[in-house]
Amino acid sequence: MKLTYSPEQQSFRMEVRDWLVANGPKEKLPTYDTKEGFELHRQWERKLHEAGLSMVMWPKEYGGRGCDLIDWLIFEEEYYGAGAPGRVNQNGQLLLGSTLLEFGTPKQKSHFLPRMASSDDMWAQAWSEPNAGSDMANISSKAILDGDHYILNGQKTWSTRATYADWAFGLFRSEVGSKRHHGLSFLMVPLDAEGVTIRPIKALDGEDAFAEIFFDNV
């Protein structure tokens, strides 16, 4: 087994390393749990995207670079070795993005993934609920199908990035009378939709690390 990097892999490593040295923030960005810090991290994500370094492992048509696993690991090594900013859009890019790549329709992929890679859309998680915690089987927030749309009612809590994000993704109970892991649907929701209310949850340091999301006939 050959355990050395190829010339192409070594070249990619140096490309990433040199770019980060030349373009990385000279000072540490404010935490992305503040409005100012969130927007500065979004700007950084866009800069990464312009350089083709935002989501290197995604196909090019979706805003990526088409790298293989080894190149992705090389990028991650160099990125964190350089002390570069935390990835503020990781909810979308690393969690939702991989789901869309595997299960999304062509229309969903072509619309959402490029905007996710460029951080034009920022994403929050919407899993936990007041009476369920992180137990997905006890989700009670409802999504009732009405024609081509779902009508959402309920509450999510401990939603990371929800205070400043554009969209959320999460699970909702879409089958009346269903129990436990049955009858759930994975939905994406614009957080500026009518009927959505977001209430920040103050962390011990006073920052808005999490939020509650209320859905009232959304």
Please, which pLDDT band fits residue 15 given cuts at 50, 70 and 90? very high
Distance CA 155, CA 131 (A): 10
The mean pLDDT value of the chain amounts to: 91
Asked whether residue 41 carries a pLDDT value surpassing 70, the answer given is: yes
pLDDT one-digit tens code per residue, 75-99: 999 999 999 999 999 999 999 999 9
pLDDT one-digit tens code per residue, 173-203: 987 877 787 888 999 999 999 999 999 987 7
Tell me the mean pLDDT in the region 7-25.
95
CB neighbour class for 164 (10 Å; exposed up to 12, middle 13-18, buried from 19): buried
The continuous run of DSSP H or E covering 164 comes out as: none
Output the pLDDT for position 45. Answer: 95
Closest CA to 77 of 99, 96, 56: 56
Q: How many residues make up the chain in this entry?
A: 218
CB 124 within 8 A of CB 173: no
| Greatest extent of the chain over all pairs of C-alpha atoms, in Å | 59
Tell me the mean pLDDT in the region 24-53.
93
Per-position b or e across 40-67, b if 16+ CB within 10 A of its CB: bbbebbebbbeebbbbbbbeeebbbbeb
CB 152 within 8 A of CB 189: yes
pLDDT one-digit tens code per residue, 137-184: 788 899 999 999 999 999 999 988 899 999 999 999 987 877 787 888
Cβ within 8 Å of residue 143, ≥6 positions away: 150, 151, 152, 172, 173, 174, 185, 187
Please, which pLDDT band fits residue 216 given cuts at 50, 70 and 90? very high
Distance CA 184, CA 132 (A): 14
φ/ψ of residue 19, rounded to 5: -65, -40
Which amino acid type is present at position 45? E
Asked whether residue 204 carries a pLDDT value surpassing 80, the answer given is: no
Tell me the mean pLDDT in the region 50-67.
94
| DSSP, res 63 | T
Please, which pLDDT band fits residue 1 given cuts at 50, 70 and 90? low
134 or 157: which leads in pLDDT: 157
3 or 104: which leads in pLDDT: 104
Distance CA 168, CA 123 (A): 5
Output the pLDDT for position 100. Answer: 95
